[in-house]
Amino acid sequence: MFKYSLDNKRYHTLNYYFKNKFNSKVFKVSLNAGFTCPNIDGTKGYGGCIYCSKTGSGEHGGNPNKDLTTQFYDVKEVIDKKWPNSKYIAYFQARTNTYAPLHILKEKYEEVLKINNVIGLFIATRCDSISDETLDYLEELNKRTFLTIELGLQSIHDSTSKIINRGHSLKEFDDMVKKLRKRNINVVVHIINSLPFETEKMMLDTIRHLNTLDIQGIKIHMLNITHGTPIERMYLDNKFKLLSKEEYIDIVIKQLEILNPKIVVHRITSDPDKNSLIAPEWLLKKFCVLNDIDKEMAKRDTYQGKYYNK
């Protein structure tokens, strides 16, 4: 058994991490605080990244028309029926969750921290959207709750960043990781496989670069093509090809093999909205993808970090 797993996984699972840190079942509750993004409102660009849905990755978050406490309890009541007395992390997921004046951020974060059994915050954001005064507040927040900042990177390659309208450079990303870690704040990085025109080597090089940074977690996603996005037309016009399920599994395993084994794997596949997804349809069978990754890793007798070079 891989030492950072409680089951048959051969990678460092979030379940293992939470169990060892909190000695309890821990659930992340996705919330939608109604934030926008500098890549949507014109500060950096318009329309967001070309794959970004109208909800800004908030398909599984709460209803932004409800207050955060109500959003939270809508989810908590369901979970409590199966796992009573669990601990919770409030996950600010949709769009850019540090992109607002500090007093608004404080209002949002502090509201959910008052909820019983909420032990921490996960805040999804961009590297170019955390001001120095917000950093000061996050540093203070980190001393009294379990805080993780989730930074979207998607790819280390500037050529890809331009295609997807990302709006920031790799240097900006690296610099923000260093600023957060200087303040002892945990960092999770989000990357996407199968972005337009990326090769296997490019996807593996993204992992190799992340190994050089002091990060604590990673999310690996497959590119989703959804209705109403700029990338939809690129895909339908056959401008690029998506990875097949078999190709995706092969690349993910190769990424895990070179990934620092101490880095926690928070996600290893996408979880798309079936009503808006155009392709690839195989993503809708999430647990089949996860099981196939497990089976293939066992077949290859491999594991996270097998070929990791310090």
**Strand order, beta sheet including 264-267:** 26-31, 87-92, 118-125, 146-154, 186-193, 217-222, 264-267
Tell me 149's DSSP state.
Answer: E
- Cα separation, 11 vs 214, in Å, equals 18
Query: What pLDDT was estimated at residue 63?
Result: 84
| 306 occurs within a structural domain | no
Spell out the residues 6+ positions from residue 295 whose beta carbon is closer than 8 angstroms to its own.
none
Measured between alpha carbons, how far is residue 216 from residues 17, 34, 107, 132, 241 in Å?
A: 11, 27, 27, 22, 32
| 99 occurs within a structural domain | yes
| 91 occurs within a structural domain | yes
pLDDT tens for the chain, 310 residues: list them.
678 888 889 999 999 999 999 998 899 999 999 999 988 888 887 778 999 876 555 456 678 889 999 999 999 888 988 888 889 999 999 899 999 999 999 999 999 999 999 999 999 999 999 999 999 999 999 999 999 999 999 999 999 999 999 989 999 999 999 999 999 999 999 999 999 999 999 999 999 999 999 999 999 999 999 999 999 999 999 889 999 999 999 999 999 999 999 999 999 998 898 999 999 999 999 999 999 999 999 999 999 999 998 7
| 5 occurs within a structural domain | no
Question: 128 by DSSP, 3-state: which?
Answer: coil
| 248 occurs within a structural domain | yes
Residue (of 200, 204, 216, 194) closest to 260 by Cα position: 216
The domain tally of the chain equals 1
| 185 occurs within a structural domain | yes
Domain of 63 in residue numbering reads as 14-300
- Cα separation, 250 vs 182, in Å, equals 35
Per the DSSP assignment, residues forming a β-bridge with 17 are none
Query: What pLDDT was estimated at residue 6?
Result: 84
| 72 occurs within a structural domain | yes
Query: What pLDDT was estimated at residue 2?
Result: 76
Query: What pLDDT was estimated at residue 60?
Result: 60
- Cα separation, 184 vs 304, in Å, equals 25
Query: What pLDDT was estimated at residue 58?
Result: 47
**Full-model pTM:** 0.94
| 9 occurs within a structural domain | no
- Cα separation, 164 vs 193, in Å, equals 13
Q: Is 172 in contact with 128 (CB distance < 8 Å)?
A: yes
Tell me, what CATH number does 171's domain have? 3.80.30.30
